[in-house]
Amino acid sequence: MMRRMDQGARPKRTARTNGMVLASVSLLALTAAGMAQAQESSGPGFSIVIGAPSEPVPATAAPAAAPEVPAAATVTATEPPPPAPAIEEALTPAEPIVPPLPVGVVSPEMENPATIALETDENGITPVEGRLRFDRPGWFWVGQADLTYGRERGGEDYSLGRLAGYTKGMTRSGYTVTAAIDTGEDELDELLDGLDEKNPRQVLDRIAPDDVYPTFGDDSTSYADAPTSGRIYARVEKDGSHVMWGDFHNAQDDPHQLVRSDRTLYGAQALWRSAEETAAGEPRHVVSAYASQPDRLMQRDVLRGTGGSVYFLKRQDILRGTEVVTIRWRDSTSGRVIRSQRLVPGTDYDINYFQGIIDLGIPLTGSASDGGLIVDNPLGDDLVDLVVQYEYVPTTGDVDGMALGARAQSWIGETVRLGVSAQKETTGIADNRLAGVDLRWQRSASTWLSLDVAQSEGPGFGTSESLDGGLEYEEDDLLSAGRRGLSANAVRLEGRADLAELTGGRAQGAIGLWYDDKQEGFVSADDDIDRDQTDWGFLGELALGPASTLTFGHKDFRRDGGEKRRDSRLGMAHQIAPHWTLEGEVAHTDRLDPDGDDEAQGQRTDLGARLTYDPGRGYRLWAFGQATASHQGGLPRNNRAGLGAEADLSDRLSAAAEVSDGNLGFGADASLRWRGENGSTWVSYRMDPMRRFDRTDFEGRDRGIWVLGAERQLGSNTTFRTEQTIDRFGDRHSRGVTHGLRYATEGWQVDGTLTNGRLADPDGGEIRRKGISLAAAFSDGDALKTGLRGEYRTDDGDDDDRDRESWGLSGHLRYKLSEEWRLVSDLDAIISDSSESALRDGRYIEGNLGLAYRPVSNDRLNMLMRYTYLEDLPGPDQVNLDGDEGGPRQKSHIFGIDANYKLNDLWTVGGKLGYRRAEVWTERESGSASVPNTAYLAILRADYHVMHNWDLMAELRTMRFKEAEVTEHGVLAGVWRHVGPNMKLGLGYQWGDVSDDLRSLDGRKAGVFMNVVGSF
C-alpha cells in the first residue's frame, strides 16, 4: 500500500521555472537563454542533449503535446524521476526545483526524443528538439525496522519488532522490482506468523487499516501496488516473465486441460516466457510454478441454468476477487465437457461478495442442442451449467495443507506444443495429487488435435449442485470420488478439422472427434469420476453441393457395472427452394443400464424431419417431427411433433418460441423481449419434460419455469432493473424476485438491490430468503467524499435449523472543513446469527470519528481528535480485537485527543486525554454476565531532538479505573542516538500497566528496553 502525501492544509511552495522538458517519461525544469548550438548537460544517471533551436512560438499558443516515445523505448510502471540534487547539479537552475511525483519507469541506457520549451522573453517560447537519456535506473523506496528488547520487572525477557517497507524500481538490466512488507508489531519469533486470521472485521476489509487515527489532516491518499493477503509482497518481472510472492490467480490460458488449477492463492508464483515467439505470437517456451499454504478453502457451486440471470451461491462471506465464473456445456450422458466460456467480472456478471449473489448480464438457459435433429430432450440434449469456484474462510478450526503446482510447455516448430503439468492439493478435505502430459497439434484455430494423459490420486474438494438457481442445494454435497492411495488415470483425445483448409477448398465442411477414458477415482478441475468410464465419438458435416449438406455423428459411452449407450445419426439438409430448407435424419440408440429402470434398456430407431422457412426479412419459421420406426426392450417410443418461430415483430419487439409434445411429455421454450428507447422488458417460459429425472424424490407435476424481467432508464440518471423467477417443479415450488436501482449523476451514485425468495420444501416446510443491499456515494471534488453501504440477508424456515441472519454495514466520510480542519469518519459492522453459513454467530461494530487541526499560519501546532464506538462480541470460535480466540468481549465508547506543540527546533511538548466506558465479558458463552469498565487516561510527553544526533523523550501516564477505584501510573523514558542518517539506537525504561490504546483490554510491558530503529 502506497500513501501519497499532498500538502493539503499548508500553502504549497511554488518554484518559478523558466522552461520545461515536455516528455512522456519525466518532467524536468531548466533555465537557458539564447542556445544557438547543440550541447549536453549531464548528471548522475541521466543526461539531456539539446539540438539547435527552431523558430519562436508565441507565448499564447497551445502547449506542445508530449512527444511520442519511439517503439524501441518502453514505459512499464510507476517510478520516480532522478532526485532533485542530481537535477540541480546537472542544470544549475536559477531557483531550487521541487521534483514531481513519480510518473514513469524508464528503461536504463536509452534515449527518448523530447521537446525542450525555453522561455526567451516575455513574448515568446522557443521549442528545442532534444533527447532525454537515462544512464542508470531510478528507484523509489521507503521503509522502517523497529526492534525492541526488554526485561520486565519480574525478570521475564521479551523481544518485539516490526518491519515495514516498500520499494519499486528497475535494474540496469531491465528488471522491474516491486516489494513490500508490513509485519505489524509482534514477538520476534512470531513476526511472520498468522498471515491472515479469520475475524469478523475481515469480512468488511481484509487489509488491516491504520488504527491510530482516521485522519492526520494532510490530505493523503493511498493505492495498492502490492496486492497481498499476508504481510509480504515481492515481484520481479521482465518481458512478460515474473517471480513473485503475494496474491496470484492460477487461471490458465487453456480452460480445457485436464491438469489445471483455477484457485486464487497467496504464496509464491514463478512464470517464465521465452523471448522467442512462434509465427502466431505465442512464446516458444513457458514454464510456471506456484506454492501456497492456504488459509482458506475452495468452494465449487454448479448451478443449472434456469432461464434467468440471478443465481445464489451456497456460501456468504466470499473472499473478494477469488471467484472464477464459467458457463459449461456438457454431455448429459457421460458428463464430458463439450465447451466452456469463462466470464469477465463487471462485463459478463456482477457479484455481491457479502450475500453470495451472481447477476449475469444475460439470462442463462439450462440446456442446448447437440447439433442433432432427433433429441431425447425437446429443449436440447446438452446440459448448460453456471460453474462458480471461489474461496472462503471456514468458521471453525485452522486450514492446514499445501497447494503446489508446476507446468512447462514448448512449441516444437510452428504447429506442435508439448506440455507437462503437476499439482498437489492438501487443503481441507482435499488430499489430491494430479500430474499429466498434453500434446497439441494446431494448424489453425479451426484445425487442431490435442492429447491429454493424466493421473490423479486422492480426494478433491467435491461439488455443490443446485437445479433452481441456488435457492436449494442438494442435501448432501457431491463428495469427491477420489480416495487416498487410489491412483486413477485419464486419457482424452480431441480434434477438429476444417475440410476446406485441409483440401484447399475442394471439400467444404468440418469433422470433430473425441476419445475420453477415465478410471474410478480420477479427480480434476472438471471431473470427479465414481466409476470407470469410456466415451468416444465423432460428428461432422459435409457439403454435397451448393444446396445440400450431409450431417453425421456417433457416440459410444460405457461405464463400469455394465452400463452402455451407443447413439448414431445420419442426416441430410437440402434447400428445396429459395428460403425453404428441408432436413431429414435417422438415429439409432442402443442402451443398457443394469441398475436402471426397464425404460432405460433397449434399442430404438427414430426418423425425424424439419422444414424451415427463412425469407431473410426478420423472421424464421419451422415445423418438425420425429417418430419411432422400431424399438425393442423397455425403451419407450419417442414420437414428437412441434412448431417454432423467431421474429423481429418490430424495431423494438422480438419473439422466439418452440413447443412440442410427444411420448416423453410436453416441452416448450418461449421468450418475448421488448427494447425501447429507455429500457427493455422480457418474459420467458421453459418446460423441460426431462427435468423430473434429475431428482430421485420428485413428486407431483412439473409445470415449468417462468422468468419476467424489465430494465428501465428513468430519466437521464436513474436505471431500474427487476427480474422474477417462478419455478413450479412438482411439490418443490420456488419463487425468486430481484429488484435493482442505480442513480448516477455528477457527484452522486446510489445503488440498491432487493432479493426475495421462497422455496416449498416438502420435508422441512417453506424456506423464505430475503436480502437487501443499499449503497450511496457522494463526491464534491476534494472538499467532500462520503459513502455508505449496507447489506442484509435472512433465511427463515419452518425448520429452525435453517434459520440464518446476517447484517453488514460499511461507510466513510472525508470532509475538508477549511484549509486548517479535516473531518473523517468511518463505520464497519458485521452481525451474524447463523450455524450453517460461512458467517457464524458474532457481532463486530466499529465506528470512528476523527478530526484534525493543522493551522496554516502556525505549523508548530498539530491536534488530532478521535471518537470510537467498539462492539467486539466474537463467537465462541472467533478471535477478538487483540487476536485472541479466548480473549474478552467488549462494548466500548472511546474518546481521545492528542496535541503536539513545537516550542523551537529542539523541543516539542504534547499530551493526550482519553476516556473509555465499556462493558466487558470474560466468558464467551451466551448469557454470561458483563462487568462495567470505565477508564480515564492522561499522558504528558516531551521530546528533545538534535538533527542527526540525539532524540530524547519522556512520558508520564496515568489511568483511573472508576469501578475498581484504582489509579495506575506509568512512565516511559528513552534516549536515542542517531548512527548515520538511517539508524538510531535507543535505551529506555517503561513502568506501569498503562496502555495508550483504550480499545485494548490488555496491559503493556514494563521494565528496561533497548530499541533499534532503521529507516530509509
pLDDT in tens, 904-913: 889 999 999 9
Check: CB of residue 392 under 8 Å from CB of residue 315.
yes
Mean pLDDT of 419-435: 89
Mean pLDDT of 79-90: 34
Q: Reduce the DSSP state of residue 578 to 3 states and report it.
A: coil
Residue 285's alpha-carbon distances to 253, 276, 278, 407, 602, in angstroms, are: 14, 8, 10, 11, 51
Which has the higher per-residue pLDDT, 309 or 764?
A: 309
Q: Reduce the DSSP state of residue 86 to 3 states and report it.
A: helix
- Would you say residue 50 has pLDDT above 60? no
Q: How far apart are CA 540 and CA 372, in angstroms?
A: 10
pTM of the model: 0.70
Mean pLDDT of 742-771: 79
Q: Reduce the DSSP state of residue 163 to 3 states and report it.
A: strand
pLDDT-based confidence at residue 794 (cuts at 50, 70, 90)? confident
- Looking at residue 36, its pLDDT comes to 28
- Looking at residue 165, its pLDDT comes to 86
- Looking at residue 57, its pLDDT comes to 33
Check: CB of residue 116 under 8 Å from CB of residue 50.
yes
Maximum Cα–Cα distance for the chain, whole Å? 105
**In the beta sheet, which residues pair with residue 141?**
167
The tens digit of pLDDT for each residue in 371-390 reads 888 988 888 888 899 999 99
- Looking at residue 653, its pLDDT comes to 93
pLDDT-based confidence at residue 447 (cuts at 50, 70, 90)? very high
- Looking at residue 395, its pLDDT comes to 59
Mean pLDDT of 838-854: 75
**Cell triple for residue 35?**
542556445
pLDDT-based confidence at residue 449 (cuts at 50, 70, 90)? very high
| Amino acid making up residue 288 | S
Q: Which of 514, 276, 513 is nearest to 414 (CA)?
A: 276
Which has the minimum average pLDDT: 313-317, 555-559, 866-870?
313-317
- Looking at residue 641, its pLDDT comes to 95
Mean pLDDT of the chain: 77
Which has the minimum average pLDDT: 176-180, 373-377, 870-874, 894-898?
870-874
- Looking at residue 439, its pLDDT comes to 96
Q: Which of 11, 12, 17 is nearest to 95 (CA)?
A: 17
DSSP letter string over 746-809?
A: SSEEEEEEEEEEEEEETTTEEEEEEEEEEEEEEEETTTEEEEEEEEEEEEEESSGGG-EEEEEE
- Would you say residue 923 has pLDDT above 80? no
Q: Which of 367, 467, 478 is nearest to 732 (CA)?
A: 467
Q: Reduce the DSSP state of residue 885 to 3 states and report it.
A: coil
Mean pLDDT of 651-673: 92
- Would you say residue 656 has pLDDT above 90? yes
The tens digit of pLDDT for each residue in 673-715 reads 998 888 899 999 999 888 887 777 778 888 888 999 998 888 8
Which has the minimum average pLDDT: 93-97, 503-507, 615-619, 858-862?
93-97
pLDDT-based confidence at residue 945 (cuts at 50, 70, 90)? confident
**Helix runs in 530-678, H state only:** none
- Looking at residue 71, its pLDDT comes to 31
- Looking at residue 195, its pLDDT comes to 45
The tens digit of pLDDT for each residue in 574-598 reads 999 999 999 999 999 999 988 888 8
The tens digit of pLDDT for each residue in 988-999 reads 888 877 776 654
Mean pLDDT of 1000-1014: 70
The top-scoring range by mean pLDDT among 108-122, 217-231, 684-698, 760-774 is: 684-698
- Looking at residue 798, its pLDDT comes to 65
Please enumerate in sequence order all residues whose Cβ is within 8 A of that of 342, keeping only pairs 6 or more positions apart, or say none: 251, 255, 324, 325, 326
- Would you say residue 292 has pLDDT above 80? yes
pLDDT-based confidence at residue 647 (cuts at 50, 70, 90)? very high
Q: How far apart are CA 315 and CA 302, in angstroms?
A: 13
- What's the burial of 851, exposed, middle or buried (CB within 10 Å: 0-12/13-18/19+)? buried
- Would you say residue 124 has pLDDT above 90? no
- Looking at residue 672, its pLDDT comes to 93
- Looking at residue 369, its pLDDT comes to 83
Q: Provide, rounded to the nearest whole percent, the portion of the chain with pLDDT above 90.
A: 28
Please count the other Cβ atoms lying within 10 Å of the Cβ belonging to residue 414.
Answer: 12
- Would you say residue 361 has pLDDT above 70? yes
Which has the minimum average pLDDT: 27-31, 70-74, 968-972?
27-31
- Would you say residue 668 has pLDDT above 90? yes
- Would you say residue 37 has pLDDT above 90? no
Please enumerate in sequence order all residues whose Cβ is within 8 A of that of 298, keeping only pairs 6 or more positions apart, or say none: 263, 389, 390, 391, 427, 428, 430, 461
Under CATH, what is the fold of the domain 740-1015?
Answer: Porin (2.40.160)
Check: CB of residue 166 under 8 Å from CB of residue 132.
no
- Looking at residue 834, its pLDDT comes to 58
Q: How far apart are CA 359 and CA 466, in angstroms?
A: 16
